[in-house]
Amino acid sequence: MSAASQQTLAGPATLVGTSLHTGEKVSITLKPAPEGHGFKFRRIDLPDQPFINADVEKVQTVERATTLAEGSVKVHTVEHVISALTGMGVDNALIEMDANEPPIGDGSARPFVDMILKVGVCAQAAPRRVWEIRDPIYQETADGTILTIIPCKTFRVSVTNVGPEGRFTQYFSTEVTPATYEKEICAARTFVYYEDVKPLLEKGLIKGGSLESAVVIRGNEIMSKEPMRFSNEFARHKALDIIGDLILSGVRILGHVIAVKPGHGPNTKLAATLKTQYHRMRSQVPPAVIIPDGESVMDINEVMRILPHRYPFLMVDRIIDCIGEDKCTGVKNITINEPYFVGHFPGHPIMPGVLQLEAMAQVSSVLMLRKPENNGKIGYFMSADKVKWRRPVLPGDILFIESDVLKVRGSIGQTRCRCLVNGEVVSEAELKFLLLDH
Give the C-alpha distances (Å, rounded to integers) separating 66 from 191, 198, 206, 217. 15, 20, 16, 21
User: Is 76 annotated as catalytic?
Assistant: no
CB atoms within 10 A of CB 274: 23
Catalytic residue (one of 76, 344, 348, 438) = 344
Q: Which of 264, 309, 348, 438 is catalytic?
A: 264
Beta strand extents in 292-367 (DSSP E only): 318-323, 327-333
Question: H/E element holding 353?
Answer: helix 353-369
DSSP string over 202-269: HTT--TT--TTSSEEEETTEE--SSPPSSTTHHHHHHHHHHHHHHGGGSSEEEEEEEEES--HHHHHH
How far is residue 100 from each of residues 77, 137, 295, 369, 432, measured CA to CA in Å?
Answer: 9, 33, 61, 68, 66
Does the annotation mark 264 as catalytic?
Answer: yes
Question: String of b and e for 329-361 (b: at least 16 CB within 10 Å)?
Answer: bbbbebeeebeebeeeeeeebebbbebbbbbbb
Three-state DSSP state, 415:
strand
Q: CA-CA distance, 65 to 67, in Å (whole number)?
A: 6
Question: Within 10 Å of residue 9's Cβ, how many Cβ atoms?
Answer: 23
Which residues are designated catalytic?
A: 264, 344
